[in-house]
Amino acid sequence: MPLPNDALLEMYRRMTRIRQFENTCHELYQRGQIEGVLHLSIGQEAVSVGACYGLTADDYITSTHRGHNDIIAKGADLTRMMDELFMKETGYCRAKGGSMHIADFTLGILGANGIVGAGIPIATGAALAIKLRGERRVAVCFFGDGAVNQGFFHEGLNLASVWRLPVVFVCHNNAWAESTAQAATHAVADVAERAKAYGMPGVSVDAIDVTAVHEACAAAIARAREGDGPSLINCKTYRWYGHHVGDADQPYRSKEELAATRARDCIVHHRERLMRSGVADARLLETIDRDVAGEITAAVEHAKAAPPPSADSMYEDIFVGIDVREGGAS
Amino acid sequence: MPLPNDALLEMYRRMTRIRQFENTCHELYQRGQIEGVLHLSIGQEAVSVGACYGLTADDYITSTHRGHNDIIAKGADLTRMMDELFMKETGYCRAKGGSMHIADFTLGILGANGIVGAGIPIATGAALAIKLRGERRVAVCFFGDGAVNQGFFHEGLNLASVWRLPVVFVCHNNAWAESTAQAATHAVADVAERAKAYGMPGVSVDAIDVTAVHEACAAAIARAREGDGPSLINCKTYRWYGHHVGDADQPYRSKEELAATRARDCIVHHRERLMRSGVADARLLETIDRDVAGEITAAVEHAKAAPPPSADSMYEDIFVGIDVREGGAS
Amino acid sequence: MTVEMTVREALNRALDEELARDPSVFLLGEDIADPFGGSWKVTKGLSDKHGIARVRNTPISESAIVGAAVGAALAGMRPVAEIMYIDFLALCADGIVNQAAKFRYMSGGQVSVPVVFRTQGGSGRSTAAQHGQSFESWFTHVPGLIVVMPSTPSDAYGLLKSAIRDDNPVLFIESKMCYAQKGPVPRAETAVPLGLADIKRRGRDVTIVAIGAMVAEALAAATELADDGIEAEVIDPRTLVPLDKVRILESVSRTSRAVIVHEATKRSGWGAEMAALIAEEAFHDLDGPVVRVAGANTPIPASPMLEALHRPNAARIAAAVRRLLA
Amino acid sequence: MTVEMTVREALNRALDEELARDPSVFLLGEDIADPFGGSWKVTKGLSDKHGIARVRNTPISESAIVGAAVGAALAGMRPVAEIMYIDFLALCADGIVNQAAKFRYMSGGQVSVPVVFRTQGGSGRSTAAQHGQSFESWFTHVPGLIVVMPSTPSDAYGLLKSAIRDDNPVLFIESKMCYAQKGPVPRAETAVPLGLADIKRRGRDVTIVAIGAMVAEALAAATELADDGIEAEVIDPRTLVPLDKVRILESVSRTSRAVIVHEATKRSGWGAEMAALIAEEAFHDLDGPVVRVAGANTPIPASPMLEALHRPNAARIAAAVRRLLA
Ligand SMILES: Cc1ncc(C[n+]2csc(CCOP(=O)(O)OP(=O)(O)O)c2C)c(N)n1
Ligand SMILES: Cc1ncc(C[n+]2csc(CCOP(=O)(O)OP(=O)(O)O)c2C)c(N)n1
Ligand SMILES: [Mg+2]
Ligand SMILES: [Mg+2]
């Protein structure tokens, strides 16, 4: 079933939003305007957008340290994200989370996560909640290829399968985990193969194509909503930049490899398809690009002007109903 | 290649040794002569003996909470085992380990282990030591079917495969984990299937037949010694008694199931084969039975007469070269 | 009106009532379902009554148990996860320490994580070094986590109910040596509020702060000491976080002497924090050193004889008090 | 004869020398091999020099890293495993806590476990709640484990060498804020013995016991206090287990006042044990409360501004000393 034109355009808009957001973060970091750890998701936009397109705020996602993409794809507010990166009181996490912990519980975004693999059992648990309540929601769990070797992956996928939970495991397979190439750490070449050990469908997709990602994920999501259990979708993509912004030279991989994969840009690919098929002309796409640029600029402006957190806020948001300032060590 | 007669007889002897040792422990426990936790391995003798037959003291094994079988199969001294169960100074662990922690480092027995799955990375590490030193030793890692769902299993098997380590993973698949039936917790029915996720050979064996277990394990061990990496052997067996001696009624499984699997006794099976094929007559086997009974009786006698640990020994064996009694809290 | 029951029965009752009261409450853990009813039999009868969807046996996958409980709580449920032995938290603490305890903070207060992690600890049953530890101090070191450790049937009952109803993540630590202990529990449904210490015995000469299975030992010591005319006050904090510092320090200000008792290894045990707090905030009330009577700084030996030397008991507590008052 | 180097370089040198000295030494961990050389660059150049068989990149499988290191040590090697952040020990502590620390004991002394677990902790780099914790107190609560926490280049160098040569399991905790710190290191190969505290500055008015990145802050505080005529003694225990209690208590007996400083969360941090020890064994030497200056009892906030409030620093230490002496 081909996607309607407005869906294709919306996917373009969302991928562009991620790309521009991340490029802006990169610049801001290089100019010293934002600090902390920052893992750019550039190159991986099609995975997030393909998987999240069609989800509603009732559906859950979990994401990773490299999570801006998934979070934006699920509809997060760019201003509150940028405020957070600027460490402002108005940020999603009131300046206490930063890039690795952005969440929006009103949108079902159960958070980026700094612990590799930790989102897997969390998404599984969210799916369990759905099942216990008899709802038709779904949980989409994003993780990197490096996380596949964590115990969390094994325990989470087995549990989700045994309990037939409505969760879709989406691997951002960008070929690298920090400085380590996948072949050095994966016993089998195809991440989708791992699904067999858990009795669930496993599919690999070339994530240059956002519609291919969407098709695979949408089928798995539909299956999950029907109560037929979890799936694993291995999205083959690539990390365009260093592991984090501090890892600029990337001595562990070649300029050629980088250039070759950057040539396979999911946004360019989608753009060309839109133009080729007549869904959009260059002008329309430029309008979208400009609109998005406007959103990002507005977000940056807002963030710059936003108030910093108060010193007191360090003691807030720890417990419900318990003030930790009272009682000293208690 | 059929096994020589003396090998077949030796296997009989070892299985009998395990059975009698365990039966004796059971009685001693019921009579209140030994205490603590005790997980009987009765019914699973063929797994331990089939896997360990042919190993030397240079080879390593790791075992589990239900470990008497593996440890005896690897050649442990029954007297020091029994002394330990009687909590005597002369026991393998000087009364500080008990049933779940028996080890004999001179025989490559790297210990039973109370943490389900923990032996898996330990055996993997021992195999790494072998590989780093360029030796032809092998590590055999025993674990239960319940351990297959632990993160340890996943991380250990993947690592062993990626590094092509000389380790053989032997699953004592006794169909139950404590009170929980395997089908309730395993996403795939055949444990050997899991091997595919780690790019290693996986074989299932009906462990009623000690020679079948041996054949499968010996092939995997030979492969490992040749530097061709790890394998997974799924040995289908059955736990005859409760999870531990305190779990006598086993309300979670039927008398019929128990009776049916007890009818498939690996020792009776081997005994009948030996007689049928003329390797041994009833007299010879009874002599073996009696010899073994003598060993066990001697062990029990020794244990009863052995000295208890001194109070001081609580503070011993913690560090090499540091006395923890000195310096109080330090 | 009270009814006599064991700690085990009291915990079972609390779980049963909370399952009946709130459909968002559910239990998960290894071997908790009937007919087995849990390795410690605390959940006996609950899956038969409330169904196996709400009292769920899991695979042996502690990290997934803990993580899934956190995820379900984030998605609006009130999971109660059982980890069979506190020793196993060494392999699955991430979900408790890095996730449950921090989600509210890391998200700037967007969410609460109403999850209870039930587990049990302590030596005394010859289970050796990997099945008899007491890690409560680890978790009191983790901001964002409530840590409860009841000693009596009525506290076990009332605190577990409060823990389940609380919107914060709670580590609920039972003591294996307390399960069979009997005592009165209110017949009417009641909850014991978190954060309140209980003075189990009044006295003027020394304050004994004891937790878990050591509360009974401290009370036995107090009885013994009373024969010598020494009146010991015995306080059970019941919740270690938040701690009822006011009540404890008030007691120390009256008695001028403090002895802290737990079965965990002494070094960096919870008694260290309690002693440090007294030394820092009540120093001028003290007439003598703050004494800790605790598990030995050794792994837990299997031998019952050696294990008895490892654990504090009434005699050792009484001796420490006598030395302090001498 | 000394040479100036950073803590990072000092650690690298120790690893390099030990790899060269003893063929049973090898390293494993995530991303430690060249050309990356580790997330903290401590292992830079080592795989190029000693080969990738002995400086091994692993999958992201912390439990397997730790467990395999234990297994290799049981089989006669001397592994040095790197866990990138101490925060991750929450998911892989089993191999350290339940295995390495206990194998000797549980086996009745049959074996020793010569493994080093290198990791790093501490806040100060805006890495937020899951990447800035300090869990040293957890591990000092585990009998059978040596816990080392160096603060200077020469200690980092000499203690890491001792840790690798020691037959016991060692948790070697580096401080992220110390890596770039410079100082003199002996040109000749030397090892600093485990278990000896170092008096980093002599003084008669107060004993400041500080660890890790807080040693430098304590020294800065001491300099500041000296301007007011307050002479603070600064002691760095360097090894938390075994602890050089004698030297520390001797200092307290001279100064009569103790302040303990660490960046870990105050509640149940290592300072609790240190304070409790002083309150128990040196009570009669004390002229005032035992004061702890430590990380706030909150998760670590991402904002550098808030994080700075969370961490102790020279000013807060000096203020605490002044209050204590007032
Ligand atoms: C439990 C844990 N181990 C290690 C790390 C450090 N770390 C952060 S990201 C990363 C690489 C993750 O690789 P992958 O899962 O492929 O995600 P990617 O970075 O490629 O998006 C590592 C090792 C961590 N944060 N958590
Ligand atoms: C990490 C951990 N989780 C749980 C337990 C409690 N436990 C001990 S044995 C056991 C069942 C193990 O099943 P399996 O691996 O099949 O071995 P079997 O008992 O059948 O020999 C359980 C749950 C434990 N000891 N360690
Ligand atoms: Mg990756
Ligand atoms: Mg089993």
Across chain D, the runs of DSSP E, i.e. the strands, are 2-6, 25-29, 55-57, 78-83, 116-121, 146-148, 170-175, 182-186, 198-201, 206-210, 232-236, 239-241, 258-265, 291-295
Nearest CA-CA distance, residue A146 and chain D, Å? 6
Instruction: Output the pLDDT for position D255.
Output: 98
Q: Mean of the pLDDT values across residues C210-231?
A: 98
Structure tokens at A293: 């640029």
Q: How far is CA A91 from CA A102, A104, A116, D11, in A?
A: 9, 11, 24, 39
Tokens standing for residue C67:
């993580």
B91-142: per-residue pLDDT in tens?
Answer: 999 999 999 999 999 999 999 999 999 999 999 999 999 999 999 999 999 9
Cβ distance D117 to C109 under 8 Å? no
pLDDT number for residue A36:
87
What CA dihedral angle connects D116, D121, D127 and D130, to 10 degrees? 80
Q: CA separation (Å) from D60 to A150, A156, B196, C39, D91?
A: 6, 16, 20, 33, 12
Residue D313, amino acid: N
* Rounded distance between C-alpha atoms, residue C215 and residue C227, angstroms: 19
Angle between helices C245-255 and C270-281 (to 10 degrees): 60
Work out the minimum CA distance from C268 to partner chain B, whole angstroms: 9
pLDDT band at C279 (very low <50, low <70, confident <90, very high): very high
Angle, helices C214-227 vs C314-325, to 10°: value is 50
Q: Give which of C22, C71, C116 is closest to A137, Cα–Cα.
A: C71
Find the largest Cα–Cα distance for chain A: 67
Average pLDDT of chain D is: 98
pLDDT at A330: 42
- Which one, of A156, A177, A173, A164, lies nearest residue A216 by Cα? A173
> According to the model, what pLDDT value does residue B324 have?
82
What is the token pair recorded at D106? 């549980």
Residue B171, beta-bridge partner list: B143, B234
Could you give the C-alpha distances from A27 to A30, A240, A300, B160, in angstroms and in order? 5, 15, 12, 42
**D106 to chain C: which residues are within 8 Å by CB?**
128-130, 299
Which residues, numbered 151 to 190 in chain D, qualify as contacts with chain B under a Cβ-Cβ cut-off of 8 Å?
A: 166-168
> What are the phi and psi torsion angles at D281 (to 5°)?
-105, -10
The pLDDT score that the predictor gives to residue B323 is: 85
Closest-CA residue in chain A for C244?
A330
Q: Which stretches in chain A have pLDDT values below 70?
A: 1, 326-330
Residue A206 pLDDT:
98
Between the CA of B243 and the centroid of ligand 4 the distance, in Å, is 9
DSSP 3-state percent helix, strand, coil across chain A (nearest 5): 50, 10, 40
Using the CB atoms, write b or e for A244-260: b if 16+ within 10 Å.
bbebeebebbeeeebee
Cα angle A192-A194-A199, degrees, rounded to a multiple of 5: 105
Q: Which two tokens stand for residue C311?
A: 């654990």
Reference A25, options A80, A78, A82; nearest CA is A82
What is the side-by-side order of every strand in the sheet holding B202-206?
A: B60-62, B139-144, B167-173, B231-236, B202-206
Residues of A with CB under 8 A from a CB of D: 35-37, 87, 93, 95-98, 100-101, 113-118, 146-147, 149-152, 177-180, 184-186, 251-252, 308-309, 311, 313-315, 318, 324, 329-330
Q: What is the pLDDT of residues B188-245, one digit of tens each?
A: 999 999 999 999 999 999 999 999 999 999 999 999 999 999 999 999 999 999 999 9
A205 sits in which H/E element: strand A202-206
Ligand 2 touching residue B242 (CB < 6 A): no
| Euclidean distance between CA atoms A178 and B227, whole angstroms | 29
d(CA D197, CA D236) in angstroms, rounded, equals: 6
What's the rounded Cα separation, in Å, for the pair A192 and A220? 13
Query: Cβ-count burial of A282 within 10 angstroms (0-12 exposed, 13-18 middle, 19+ buried)?
Result: exposed
d(CA A214, CA A52): 8
Average the pLDDT over C212-230 and give the result.
98
**For residues A76 and A72, what is the distance between their CA atoms, to the nearest angstrom?**
5
Nearest to D206 by CA among D241, D251, D245: D251
Contacts of D126 (CB under 8 A, 6+ apart): A35, A36, A37, A87, A98, D302, D303, D304, D307
Q: Could you tell me the distance, in angstroms and rounded to a whole number, from the CA of residue B176 to the centre of ligand 2? A: 9
Residue C168, pLDDT > 60, answer yes
Q: Is residue D80 a contact partner of residue D118, using CB atoms and an 8 Å limit? A: yes
Chain A neighbors (3+ CB pairs < 8 Å): B, C, D
Cβ atoms of A128 and C22 closer than 8 Å? no
C-alpha pair distances (Å), D223 with each of C43, D200, D218, D280: 60, 12, 9, 30
Distance from C-alpha of D53 to C-alpha of C27, rounded to nearest angstrom: 46
Percent of chain C with pLDDT over 70: 100
Q: Which helix (H) or strand (E) holds B181?
A: strand B180-181
Q: Which of D39, D60, D298 sits opposite A146 (nearest CB)?
A: D60
**Is D30 a catalytic site residue?**
no
Q: Report the candidate in D112, D108, D111, D43 with the shortest Cα–Cα distance to residue D81.
A: D43
Closest-CA residue in chain B for C299? B318
* Whole-structure pTM value: 0.98
Q: B-chain residues within 8 Å CB-CB of A158?
A: 149, 185-187
Using DSSP's 3-state secondary structure scheme, residue C113 falls into coil
How many beta-carbon contacts under 8 Å exist across B and D? 168
Instruction: Identify the pLDDT of residue D314.
Output: 98
Q: Which residue of B has its CA nearest to C92?
A: B151
d(CA B27, CA B134): 46
Pocket lining: B318 vs ligand 2, CB cutoff 6 Å? no
Query: Which candidate, D87, D65, D5, places its Cα nearest to that of D299?
Result: D87
Q: What is the mean pLDDT of residues B282-304?
A: 98
pLDDT, one tens digit per residue, over D230-286 is 999 999 999 999 999 999 999 999 999 999 999 999 999 999 999 999 999 999 999
Whose CA is closest to atom 21 on ligand 2?
B144
Please give the structure tokens belonging to residue B268. Answer: 């009776």
Check pLDDT > 90 for residue C23: yes
Chains in contact with chain B (at least 3 beta-carbon pairs closer than 8 A): A, C, D
Does residue D298 have a pLDDT over 80?
A: yes
Q: What is the pLDDT of residues D37-87, one digit of tens each?
A: 999 999 999 999 999 999 999 999 999 999 999 999 999 999 999 999 999
Q: Is B116 in the pocket of ligand 2 (CB under 6 A)?
A: yes
d(CA D272, CA C243): 15
For residue A52, which phi and psi values (nearest 5 degrees)?
-85, -20
> Among the atoms of ligand 1, which is closest to the Cα of residue A39?
19
What value does the mean pLDDT take over residues C168-178?
Answer: 98
Q: How far is A158 from chain D (nearest CA, A)?
A: 17
- Residue B326's pLDDT is 52
Atom 21 of ligand 1: nearest residue by CA position: A144
Place B153 in a pLDDT band, splitting at 50, 70 and 90.
very high
Question: What's chain B's average pLDDT?
Answer: 96
State the smallest CA–CA distance between residue A140 and chain D in angstroms: 22
Which residue does chain A place closest to D61, by CA atoms? A150
- How confident is the model over C285-316, as pLDDT tens digits? 999 999 999 999 999 999 999 999 999 999 99
Cβ atoms of residues B239 and B22 within 8 Å: no
Q: Are strands C2-6 and C182-186 parallel, antiparallel or unpaired?
A: antiparallel
**According to the model, what pLDDT value does residue D45 have?**
98
Q: Are A294 and C140 in contact (CB under 8 A)?
A: no
**Would you say residue D158 has pLDDT above 80?**
yes
Q: Please work out whether the CB of residue A139 comes within 6 Å of at least one atom of ligand 1.
A: no
Task: Give the pLDDT of residue A325.
Answer: 76
Q: What is chain A's mean pLDDT, rounded?
A: 96
pLDDT surpasses 60 at B150: yes
Is B328 a residue whose pLDDT tops 60?
no
- Using DSSP, state whether C6 is helix, strand or coil: strand
Query: What whole-number distance in Å separates Cα of residue A18 and Cα of residue A41?
Result: 8
Cβ within 8 Å, pair C74-A105? yes
The residues, any chain, with a CB within 8 Å of residue C96's CB and separated by 6 or more, are: C66, C89, C117, C139, C142, C145, C169, C171, D90
Ligand 1 pocket member A177 (CB < 6 A): yes
pLDDT digits (tens, 9 = 90+) for C226-252: 999 999 999 999 999 999 999 999 999
Mutation pick from D32, D36, D56, D60 vs chain A, by most beta carbons of A within 10 Å, is D60
Average of pLDDT values for C46-63? 98
pLDDT at B1 over 80: no
Provide φ and ψ at B131, rounded to 5°.
-65, -40
- Cα of B114 to ligand 2 centre, how many Å? 8
Q: What is the ipTM of this complex?
A: 0.98
